[in-house]
Amino acid sequence: MTVMTKPDHTTGRATVSALALSPATAKPDLISVEQAKAMDVARMTDLFKAHLNPGQLHFMKLLGFHKIKIERAEGMFYIDQNGRKILDFFGGFGSLAFGHNHPRLLEARKKFQEEKRQEIAIAFMSQYAAALAHNLAKCSPGDLDMVFLGSSGSEAMEAAVKLAERAAGPKRPKIVYAENSFHGKTKGVLAITDGSLYRADFKMADNVMRIPFGDVEAVERTFRSDPEVGVIVLETVQGGGGIIQAPAEYWQKLRALCDQYGVLWVADEVQCGYGRSGRFYAFEHYGVVPDVTALAKSLGGGKAAVGAMIARREVYMKAYGTPKTAMIHAMATFGGMGEACVTSIEALNVLYDEGLIDNAAVTGDYLLQRLQTLREKYPKIIKEVRGKGLMVGLEFHDFSQTLPMVLRPVVSVLDDKLKGSLSGFVGALLLRDYDVLVAFTEYNRNVIRLEPPLICQREHVDRFVEALDSLLSRGIVSIVKDFVKSQVR
């Protein structure tokens, strides 16, 4: 580009003529915030297919989710484009402990913005990150008091596993994990996530060992036979596995074995923690404390993406306790952002001020009781009800077992292919006919996953159970017919 200059007669310096500069960068055809808000379902579908995940759209259509545009959300409910209120028993896989748009969290964020406080202050210490770390340490038992802040459960678990591996040392590099585990989709923790769908054909780390979940004898055999094992990573309650728990004796023996063999225990509480089980951490039910743990989901109050690793000081210092090692895994750019930390600080205070941990225990027991009654009413449909607090799994029988006896032998050969179909039919019809949203589990597709906000009350439980009762009373044949009709409308 040729730049024209003209002399400055006052100073003798050459100046660049504004007319000679290149024109301003052209603005692309961007969608504004108001246009996004006003977008209709058809346009949303086109953009989702074009730019997000066209394969996922297939499953959304099966469940009827693609017909809904959520306009706003408050408390226990989504509100769609037609003003329909949808009861949320999905809870964003446990990320909505406070329901939607809790007023105290909105107020804390609004005040932060109005006062123009710092959001990213990487060069300086953050009073908000420091306060959040202090609060997490106070909420954690034992000497779990060293905190790493990130933006997701996967990031928190990556930090937890890296910390434990370094603390265990190079002579003990092997990491034990459980069958049907889910610890995240990022590359590191994918190696200890036991799902062929997520692993696909990625190259996994080769220092991992898989054992059955809840089998303490398998733990002991592994520790005893391989002195290179330095870390064991377990969800306290397996979420993706179908809301699976191990008995108290398992966790107590596990803690003793880890102490005996010098193995570090990482407890993944990303989904089951933060009060959901009726305790702040699910492992607290068993009177034990891990060496490292991780939280996310509701830690950001449903308004910010926040994850955290919390470790015992002794373990943390082994890994990163010197100036030479301190920056090996320091916070990333968006770890400890100001408004996110303020949201989390306020959320923790709300959690205790409103008694939501206790409410999860009491209301969760009520939900389990009502579902057990329903299982007794429909024993050929509902196989099992299980869970703790407001983390509940409702497992259906294989499809053939729900049908009349004469049809079972014929259909049973298709059970594996049909696995998850009944839970999908029920979930789709609960949404369409009863305005209730539920979730599913990754590995056992026969399980409906219930993780409503911790603000859930008995009246919400009653509405959900009554809707499910009404739906199941139609009978399996009618449920299938109703679902098929919904696909051709």
Residue 210: HSE in the Cβ half-sphere, 13 Å Cα cutoff: 13
Which residue do the tokens 């590099």 mark? 173
Q: Quick one: pLDDT at residue 60?
A: 87
Q: Quick one: pLDDT at residue 19?
A: 55
Residues 291-328: pLDDT tens digits? 999 999 999 999 999 999 999 999 999 999 999 999 99
Q: Quick one: pLDDT at residue 134?
A: 98
E-strand stretches of 151-218: 174-178, 208-211
- Tell me which residue of 306, 316, 319, 382 sits closest to 135, measured CA to CA: 306
Residues 451-471: pLDDT tens digits? 999 999 999 999 999 999 999
Please enumerate in sequence order all residues whose Cβ is within 8 A of that of 174, keeping only pairs 6 or more positions apart, or say none. Answer: 207, 208, 209, 226, 228, 229, 230, 231
Q: Quick one: pLDDT at residue 398?
A: 81
Tokens of 365: 């027991």
Structure-derived torsion over alpha carbons of residues 412, 418, 422, 423, reported in degrees to the nearest 10? 130
Q: Quick one: pLDDT at residue 400?
A: 64
- Tell me which residue of 141, 136, 176 sits closest to 156, measured CA to CA: 136
Judge contact between 63 and 427, C-beta under 8 A.
Answer: yes
Q: Quick one: pLDDT at residue 1?
A: 45
User: What is the bridge-based pairing of β-strands 208-211 and 174-178?
Assistant: parallel
Judge contact between 454 and 272, C-beta under 8 A.
Answer: no
Amino acid occupying residue 184: G
Q: Quick one: pLDDT at residue 189?
A: 97
Q: Quick one: pLDDT at residue 415?
A: 52
User: What is the bridge-based pairing of β-strands 77-80 and 5-7?
Assistant: unpaired
- Give the DSSP H/E element, type plus range, for residue 27: none
- Which regions of the chain are under pLDDT 70? 1-22, 400-401, 403-419, 488-489
